[in-house]
Amino acid sequence: MKINEIFKSIQGETTFAGVPSVFIRTTGCNLRCSWCDTKYAYSEGEEYLLDDLVKVIEKFNCPNVVITGGEPLEQEETPLLAERLIKDGFKVLIETNGSKDISILPNETFKIVDLKCPSSNMADRMLWENLQHLSSHDEIKFVITDYNDYVWAKSILTTHHLNDICTVLFSPAFGLLNPALIAEWIINDNLPVRMQIQLHKYIWGPDARGK
């Protein structure tokens, strides 16, 4: 596998926010979101054999692993890595951009699936069939940059009955939308979603690598 970086930090997003985790950031992504904060993962990386990668992960002595990107499902070995880690007793989260088939992942993985809003310029690349392959322990995430994104996400939430599927996250794009604004919209609409911020960026700053 081609890996951009491996590090131990706290999970900054999802319902696991604040939990110490090992992060494996894979190289490569098939999308180009307007607000992307990991462009360095488009091509930078080092090749690992699966066994060697698992050995590196084990050295961190941490039971939680987050496979992120880039886009992890660009690499055919990602399901094998997840399966191996689960077999070894790890809790595995996979953060995916919503454009790739998630049915190839082990059921035991915690899948964090983006649904790209219009401002990302990637909304037309979503694989809507993925909604059929989500379990109640998985999560759907909307990254929102403005009120138009919010209205769109709210419409998708209702049309696809997302709350009947799994936890739904609304996340303000860092530096583009004031968290207080989206909090106010959610409160005023009594929206049944979980707001999140990128906790790691508030702790270490938006440009920190390996955090």
Mean pLDDT by 10 residues, the chain (211 residues): 97 96 98 95 96 97 97 97 98 98 98 98 98 98 98 98 97 96 98 95 85 69
Q: How far is CA 193 from CA 103, 199, 201, in A?
A: 24, 18, 22
Q: Which residues contact 145 (CB under 8 A, 6 or more apart)?
A: 35, 117, 119, 120, 172, 173, 176, 177
Residue partners of 29: CB distance under 8 A and separation at least 6: 36, 38, 41, 42, 69, 70, 71, 74, 97
pLDDT tens per residue, range 109-147: 999 999 999 999 999 999 999 999 999 999 999 999 999
Contact yes or no for 19/62 (Cβ under 8 A): no
Per-residue CA distances from 100 to 25, 48, 71, 196, 198 (Å): 17, 22, 9, 24, 23
| CA–CA distances in Å: residue 201 to residues 139, 209, 211 | 21, 10, 8
CA distance 143 to 31: 14
pLDDT at residue 208, rounded to an integer: 82
**9-23 residues labelled b (16+ CB within 10 A) or e (exposed):** bbbbbbbbbebebbb
CA within 13 Å, CB half, 211:
13
Confidence (pTM): 0.95
Which residue carries 């050295």 as its tokens?
59
- The dihedrals phi and psi of 24, each to the nearest 5 degrees, come to -115, 110
Which tens digits make up the pLDDT trace of 149-171? 999 999 999 999 999 999 999 99
CA angle 180, 23, 11 (to 5 degrees): 30
> What does the block give as tokens for 155?
């419409």
pLDDT value, residue 65: 98
The predicted structure's pLDDT at residue 163: 96
Contact 108, 131 (CB under 8 A): no
